[in-house]
Chains A and B, each alone.
Chain A
Amino acid sequence: MQDIRLRIGTAILLCLSAFISIPGAIAVFLWWLAFSGHVFQVIRMRIIMPVAVMLAFFSAVLALSGGDGISYFIRMMVIVLIGFWVYAEQKSGEFLRFGVWLLGERWGFELGMLADMGLQTMHLLIRDFDQIRLAESLKGFRPGWKTIVPGGVVLVSGALMRAEHTAELLAARGYRNGGSLSPVFITPAKDILLSLTALCVLIIALISVSEFFILYG
């Protein structure tokens, strides 16, 4: 999806649908398989497994304390997949345009810029993490608890240093708050169609399956 406004709106609809009910979550999963276009890319993302393990842990705790852990796991996992889809589609500068369109040139600009910076930092952290892992393996260190602390220290100190440099750069350029921007969006018909399908998914989630297919005994 090229239009970030429709993409974010679609993601909100899909997340709501997945959260409401299991049929909704299944419908969202099918939507993700059919329309996201990033299925293989998401499967290859190394972070998907740790996230699934973390969710499985919380689901198990919920199940042991009397809740519906399996339902929670399925619904949250589908929401995570939608999150990965939004992340995979994201392009640099989109949050800034979206922020200005939504909230104007003061708060919208600031929040959009912060979101874009956050995303950029995430990309850099992933790159740093890969390089650190390679450097550690070259030194003969195997991934494990021993390498987590030094690797983490390098990651955090690098991120803090970059944040400081960015702040200094903004201050040096006289930035105080807000900024002017005329956001331009491209909205292909496909984007509108996909958003409408997401709306249908929400309807499926809101109406029970038996009512939807008029399955009365």
Chain B
Amino acid sequence: MRVVLNDLILYREHWSLSARGSFTDGIHLISGDTGSGKTTLALLIAGLMQPSQGSAEREQVESLMVSFQFPEYHVTGATVREECSSWGGDPLTILMAVNLAGKEDLSPLRLSRGELKRLHLACLLANDYDLLILDEPFSSLDCLEKERICGEISSRQKGITIIFTHEQELFPRVDYIWEIERGSLCCRGPLPGALMVWDHAPVSVKKLVAQGKIPDNITPKDLLEVACRT
């Protein structure tokens, strides 16, 4: 399974975005400033937007899902129960997992943004997709929930997971790091080597690297472990 970006370029009036490289099985983190083109690239990779030049080829990808930053866009059920079912999941199991039991008959749009995001991610992660693209999956979530979602993402055993985020605190286990810089996608490589050249790295990671303490990965556990290392 592979996603190949063949010299992909998108031109807009005062802006352009270019990308080349390939995404193999594992978890890929793409970081970049707000407005750098993360959402646009997510749509291009998923084939939901056509590039001006080049192509995005999804080899042996049979199931694909994109999670948009705003969970409202995904709502198709009139009630929370229907919404869970529309993803093919068991409402009771999902709602228990995200602490929303008892809200089955509410409209999903009556939930707070954080609750809806929790529900959306729980429904999404209950399925196995060959290619899963998550656009800002941690927005609107509190620290505890971010940690739980990081655990869920880290436990994905197969397929390609691409996370677009400007999160600076909590991360799942990641296999590769990419960055969008000056309108271009750059591959920083696999971890832990990528940490040395990761421009958008969180301050905590940068400090550790500066001290010569290189964590194996960027999960809170990895960072804590290396910070305590003498």
B70-98 interface (Cβ within 8 A of A): 70, 72-78, 86-87
Stretch at the interface among A19-27, A42-50, A57-65, A129-137: A129-137
B55 to chain A, nearest CB (A): 19
List the A residue with the shortest CB-CB distance to B75.
A154
Interface of A is mostly: helix
List the A residue with the shortest CB-CB distance to B87.
A139
Asked whether A120 is an interface residue with its Cβ less than 8 Å from the other chain, the reply is no
Asked whether A9 is an interface residue with its Cβ less than 8 Å from the other chain, the reply is no
List the A residue with the shortest CB-CB distance to B86.
A139
Q: How far is the CA of A109 from the CA of B41 in the complex (A)?
A: 39
Interface residues on A, range: 10 to 19
Asked whether B109 is an interface residue with its Cβ less than 8 Å from the other chain, the reply is yes
Asked whether B66 is an interface residue with its Cβ less than 8 Å from the other chain, the reply is yes
Asked whether A189 is an interface residue with its Cβ less than 8 Å from the other chain, the reply is no
Asked whether B64 is an interface residue with its Cβ less than 8 Å from the other chain, the reply is yes
Q: Is the CB of B74 within 8 A of A157?
A: no
B11-65 interface (Cβ within 8 A of A): 43, 48, 64-65
Q: How far is the CA of A135 from the CA of B120 in the complex (A)?
A: 12
Q: Is the CB of B75 within 8 A of A138?
A: no
Contact A153-B109, Cβ < 8 Å, known A136-B76, A138-B64, A141-B76: yes
Taken residue by residue from 137 to 160, chain A's Cβ proximity to chain B (1 for < 8 Å, 0 otherwise) reads as 011010000010010011001100
Q: Is the CB of B73 within 8 A of A128?
A: yes
List the A residue with the shortest CB-CB distance to B78.
A150
A50 to chain B, nearest CB (A): 21
A64 to chain B, nearest CB (A): 39
Q: Is the CB of B75 within 8 A of A131?
A: no
Asked whether B68 is an interface residue with its Cβ less than 8 Å from the other chain, the reply is yes
Q: How far is the CA of A136 from the CA of B86 in the complex (A)?
A: 10
**Which residues on A sit within 8 Å (CB–CB) of B72?**
154, 157-158
Q: Is the CB of B70 within 8 A of A131?
A: yes
Q: Is the CB of A131 within 8 A of B68?
A: yes
Q: Is the CB of B68 within 8 A of A150?
A: no
Most chain A beta carbons < 10 A, residue from B70, B75, B76: B76
Q: How far is the CA of A91 from the CA of B41 in the complex (A)?
A: 27
Q: Is the CB of A132 within 8 A of B78?
A: no
Q: How far is the CA of A153 from the CA of B68 in the complex (A)?
A: 18
**Which residues on B sit within 8 Å (CB–CB) of A136?**
76
**Which residues on B sit within 8 Å (CB–CB) of A154?**
72-73, 75, 109
Contact A147-B73, Cβ < 8 Å, known A139-B86, A154-B109: no
Task: Please give the residue numbers on chain B whose beta carbons come within 8 Å of chain A beta carbons, in ascending order.
Answer: 43, 48, 64-66, 68, 70, 72-78, 86-87, 109
With A134-B68, A153-B78, A158-B72 known, 20 other A-B pairs at CB within 8 A are: A128-B73, A131-B70, A131-B73, A132-B73, A134-B48, A134-B66, A135-B73, A136-B76, A138-B48, A138-B65, A138-B66, A138-B74, A139-B86, A139-B87, A141-B76, A150-B77, A150-B78, A153-B75, A153-B109, A157-B72
> What would 25 A/B residue contacts be, using CB atoms closer than 8 Å?
A131-B68, A132-B73, A134-B43, A134-B48, A134-B68, A135-B68, A135-B73, A135-B74, A136-B76, A138-B64, A138-B66, A138-B74, A139-B76, A139-B86, A147-B76, A150-B75, A150-B78, A153-B75, A153-B78, A153-B109, A154-B72, A154-B73, A154-B109, A157-B72, A158-B72
